[in-house]
A and B are shown apart, each in its own frame.
Chain A
Amino acid sequence: MSHIKIAVVLSVAIVLQLLLREVWRPLAYIDFPLVVVVYIALQRDAWKALLVGTLAGLIIDAGSGGLVGAGGFSKTLTAYIIYFAATRVNLENPLLRIPVLAAGSLLDSAIYVFWHRVLGYPPAVPFVQTMSYKLIATTIVGTLALYLLDAVVAERSAQRRQFATRRRVARRSTGPLRRR
């Protein structure tokens, strides 16, 4: 996945995260930047996954009332753990992505809140309730978003599209009209 594609996808995720809360408050439970981080970590590209995790976390932290760096820390660690799992276990199956997303969301929330509690900044909302809502929302929407990312931006889908075009061209050139 090229750097430009990653930058575009991450920007869209961050803008969605900022905008959707304004439209309807519960939509804030969907962690779009985390979905992007999980997606890149599943591509088994460690450097990109870690960098995107840090960037996404820090940008969200900049507009948040929490500690700057807490989101960066949690998303970086989550990205690495998912990358680590993806290099050892085959997570190509789309169904396996559901528990991976859920675990990612759970881990991200737990680390984020842990650092805030340790440094004396307790969250303003109940932990278990918020974490559960976030897990459900991120897993459901994230699963669909991963399908979308697969179809639109993945290298493999680009290759597939390229082959399909070539096949179509090849068929045209060897079609029945041509043979006559």
Chain B
Amino acid sequence: MAFVRTQKEIRQRAPIWLVTLLVANLIIMAVDARDADGRQKILRVWTQTFASPLQSTSSKVTGATSGFFQQIWNFRRTARENEQLRERLTQIETELHTAQQSAAENERLKELLKLNEQSEIKNVPARVIARDPSVWFNTITINRGTSSGIAVNMPVVTAGGIVGRVITVSPWASQVMLITDEKAGAGAVVGQLGSGALGSVKGRADLGVALIEMRYVSGLEKVENGDYVMTTGQDGIYPPGLNVGRVVDVKSGTATTAHQILIQPGAQLDRLEEVAVLLYHPPPRSVPEQTPQNVERTRR
């Protein structure tokens, strides 16, 4: 005898199904939220493993389709951009000359200070295969995972600057939290390493992917629009000296208040296609003693 449920039965059982499914979702959510930031999330690894082939395929299809239409669409814009680029090239040539001079000076100073050359950090090039399908978060998925040596918290960069850090790794894909996310952050300095304008950069919900905020820079430090912002390496994620972006807005602080600085990221975060994951392992931090010495002394 075929098992057929009547409308009344369905109506009676619906709340039970609802509660069951809601509880199941709640448990999944709790397990996912339990794993603290900076650790591998087991649930995410599994979902990522199953989702990445679909994302990769859809990325290829979209790339081919949108590429065709975009070529037509971009034709007129290219001509205009060409003119702008010519002007910019002249400007860059001048800047390059200045930069070459600075680099030579930098080399000389390094030798003078007997600084060790920073070891070349190996990197893994990766392709962006998906962006966050929900509109609430700024994450991207790349086509490299643990099989390429990628681990959680490794920095992701482009030629323009830092992009973010790896938050989940599955065998063939990784999820990257962009630097514009509210939960992302990096130790940074305005100007050159060694300047006093230290702070931390962080995303802000109302700024979107266009800008990031720099906090805690002393109001006594001189910061101007157009200044470059570099990583300091103190956050234990990004190596020092990577470009973060350029200062686009400064609300000057005072002796007691910090500057309010907005930075335009150097990497074009809304148009990411190719990125590189730095296989960077930050130097281990010295663990402070559990019981401070003065406490021991007091006890004695």
Across-interface contacts of A122 in B (CB, < 8 A): 182-183, 205
User: Interface code B54-76, partner A: CB below 8 Å = 1, 0 otherwise?
Assistant: 11001101110110000000000
Task: Specify which of B21, B62, B138, B178 is in contact with A54 (CB 8 Å cutoff).
Answer: B21
Cα separation A113 to B132 with both chains bound (whole Å): 15
Known: A47-B17, A70-B29. A23 touches B66 (CB 8 A): yes
Cα separation A122 to B138 with both chains bound (whole Å): 12
Select the residue from A58, A63, A71 with max chain B CB neighbours within 10 A: A63
**B17 & A50 in contact (Cβ 8 Å cutoff):** yes
**B133 & A123 in contact (Cβ 8 Å cutoff):** no
Residue of A with least CB distance to B49: A62
Task: Specify which of B30, B48, B181 is in contact with A124 (CB 8 Å cutoff).
Answer: B181
Across-interface contacts of A127 in B (CB, < 8 A): 205
* B293 sits at the interface (CB 8 A): no
- The majority secondary structure among interface residues of chain B is helix
Residue of B with least CB distance to A122: B182
**B32 & A67 in contact (Cβ 8 Å cutoff):** yes
- The majority secondary structure among interface residues of chain A is helix
Across-interface contacts of A130 in B (CB, < 8 A): 135-136
Number of interface residues of A (CB under 8 A): 55
**B138 & A62 in contact (Cβ 8 Å cutoff):** no
CB distance from A76 to the nearest CB of B (A): 5
Residue of B with least CB distance to A127: B205
Beta-carbon contacts under 8 Å, A1-45 to B? 15, 17-19, 21-23, 25, 28-29, 45
Across-interface contacts of B44 in A (CB, < 8 A): 68
Can you show 21 pairs from A to B with CB atoms below 8 A apart?
A15-B58, A18-B58, A18-B133, A21-B133, A28-B131, A46-B10, A47-B13, A57-B25, A63-B51, A65-B134, A66-B136, A69-B25, A72-B25, A73-B26, A73-B29, A76-B22, A76-B25, A77-B22, A120-B33, A125-B137, A126-B205
B: which residues have CB within 8 A of A? 10-11, 13-14, 17-18, 21-22, 24-30, 32-33, 43-44, 47-48, 50-51, 54-55, 58-59, 61-63, 65-66, 130-139, 141, 167, 175, 177-178, 180-183, 203, 205-206, 208, 270
**Can you name 13 extra interface pairs (CB under 8 A) apart from A22-B131, A124-B137, A130-B135?**
A22-B63, A28-B131, A28-B133, A45-B10, A57-B25, A60-B134, A63-B141, A64-B133, A64-B137, A65-B139, A116-B136, A124-B180, A125-B208
